[in-house]
Amino acid sequence: MKHMQTSLTDVTMGFAALAALGVVGANWILAPLLPPAMLFKLSVWSVVAGYALVLRNMSSHRAPALFFPLGMLLAAAGGTCSATTFLLLALLILSWIRSGLLLPQRRAAGVLAEALFCGGGAGIVYLMAPTSLLGAGLGVWLFFLVQAFYGLVVPVEYMPEGSTCDPFDSARHKAETILEAWDQ
């Protein structure tokens, strides 16, 4: 019997597609109603909030742990900061949520991984310089595809809330996975 395990990489890749489509659709619908700067900030906030909820489902923490950082980001969206400042703040808060609150790792490794993946994802989007609605969706998709590599580099164990994992079952499952891969 094969065990089904959802990895952070798989979930992030799925989120990348949904977030890109959501950003394009929401911007298309809300563009006549909101100023472009506010629309950009709310789009970034909604994508970070959505990914934070995805990460929360991958951890054993409860949703209230997300209220403060996401509230700070939403307050900044309503403020007068520039789009670049807001984007940098969003990257810092995403890193804080992922490595600090929900998927705590060793400090040095977590900071290095966050700098590499958030910086790399933002760098790729910056080089692409999206100027259209379709470009914005593509930028979100590319950013989260880079984030999907986080789960390959930083080991993250998915543990559904309320479940307990016996260390022997976990070791047996890993051994079975290795042996199945060896047989193929």
For the chain, give the mean pLDDT.
81
Terminal CA-to-CA distance of the chain, rounded, Å? 16
| Residue 123 within any structural domain of the chain | yes
Is 169 or 179 the better-scoring residue by pLDDT? 179
| Residue 81 within any structural domain of the chain | yes
Domains in the chain: how many in total?
A: 1
Residue 97 confidence class, pLDDT cut points 50, 70, 90: confident
Radius of gyration of the chain measured on its C-alpha atoms: 18
Cβ(147)–Cβ(121) below 8 Å = yes
Angle, CA of 134, 114 and 161, to the nearest 5°: 90
Please compute the mean of the pLDDT values over residues 51-57 and round it to a whole number.
88
| Residue 2 within any structural domain of the chain | no
Quick one: DSSP state of residue 102?
Answer: I
Say if residue 173's pLDDT is above 80: no
Place of tokens 């400090």: 107
Q: How large a percentage of the chain has pLDDT more than 70?
A: 78
| Residue 44 within any structural domain of the chain | yes
Helix 36-57 to helix 83-95 angle, to the nearest 10 degrees? Answer: 0
In angstroms, the CA 17 to CA 138 distance is 9
pLDDT attached to residue 58: 77
| Residue 61 within any structural domain of the chain | yes
List Cβ neighbours of 161 (8 Å cut-off, separation of 6 or more): 60
pTM of the full predicted structure? 0.77
Reported residue count of the chain is: 184
| Residue 112 within any structural domain of the chain | yes
Domain encompassing residue 42: 8-183
Place of tokens 């065990």: 3
Query: Percentages helix, strand, coil for the chain, rounded to the nearest 5?
Result: 75, 0, 25
| Residue 3 within any structural domain of the chain | no
